[in-house]
Structure 1
Amino acid sequence: MKKIYLLLFVLGTTQLSFSQTIQQVDSISNVFCEYLKTINIKNDTLKLNTLYEQKFYPYLRSIAKEEVEKVGNKLYYRLQRNCVEFRKLLDRLEPPKDGLTRITEKPVSEITKKQLNAFKKQKEFYYYEASGEKTIVIMKDGFWTDYFSDDTASKLTTKWIGNTEFELTFIESDNETRANFSVKGDKYVYQVLAKKDNYYEMSVNIPGQIVFEKFKIYYK
């Protein structure tokens, strides 16, 4: 299973084939998250193994054999999205690349009006996945579309909600990772923080969470 960062958006269906709604899956992920907070183990590998042994594996044993992989993937990625503690644990086991950082206070934008106008006129961007692969972004006509190196894509709507902030709403994806991380209607709030020589410094936040992820999105 792969790790995903928030800027690498995702998913596609609201009803799971094993007759559980995404709301039920999210409820289970919240139970797992609360359990993770109680694990008093300093070694992160052992902490992750304990989470699997005490929560993941017992739950998956209750699922039909032919659905285990699908359900396991869905739960794993939704746990990343819903549980800050789980994302932090994965970060410690596999540190983020390309300068991605997480902070608990909303960052202050330093971008000028002229620079922001240039950002809004820019149609094509790119960023790097945790694995180092390059993903192309086309942002135009009210849509944000990710084009991945495996010839899959994700589509989201864009709406400016402030001077430097815009909201992405997930629509669909045929990318396996993205199709397990988000559901249709999931929202993410981006903020343009600063313009550098060949990239913009950005932040992204899941509404309702107190964590902001700062990252780089490049332009040509």
Structure 2
Amino acid sequence: MTNHFYRFIFSFLVVLSSIAGCKKPEKATPVAITFIAPEASSIFQVPDTILVKFNIESKSPIHYVRVSIDNEDLIPVSPQLFIYPVDSMRHFEIPVPVGALSAFDSMNCYVHLVVENDQKTTHEFMEIKLSNKPFAYKGFSVVTEEDGNKSRIYFYDEYMTETAQLSVIGKITHAVTARESDLLILTTAIPEILSAYSYSDLKLQWSRDPQLPYPEFTFIRDHSPLLYFGNGAGQVISTYSSTGLE
């Protein structure tokens, strides 16, 4: 009888463990993403800065949000920008710079949002179209010496005639023109500096150093009257193109 009793207890425990093992896993908490801007099928002439606005509803904490403009193969054509929200953040707005298209004059793209919370990673897409702005021949070209210690900028008029030269210290990594303020704005490496020169007399108008702890300029985009630039932490900072002040 004792053996039968122990067998019964053992069978009962096996049944309990089987029931516990069949417990359904908790469902992942859904993330609701609502695009506010841009509107679907919007057309942008690039280079340009696209202002992306959206709302996120999540019952669990959001670890990060990643924003980029991707082509149809989901390859980014813009920097991948990150937002690390606090718990109360539900409304988001971030400028995303996009350069000129190299392979095509126009293409269908997506605003690509990636949201990660405690339980899952959610992707959301908004279809837009990019097209290159008409080329303007008046401008400049940049040549950096082989050792990277010095660069030279050549200026041209609308007839592609060289009108002036400007020598700067360091390797030029990014350069844009601020049309409203008639400035050439550029970043250099070694030293890492963001600076603006007047088109009319080629004199330095303002300059600023990168922010610590990631002293690097990853891109610059002019969206007059504002200038947007990125740093090594993935942040986007805006200043006035004419003064360099935030």
After TM superposition, is the score higher than 0.5?
no
More helix by share: 1
RCO (CA 8 Å, sep 6+): is it higher in 1 or 2? Answer: 1
More strand by share: 2
Name the TM-score, length of structure 1 as normaliser: 0.28
Tell which structure's C-alpha radius of gyration is larger.
Answer: 2
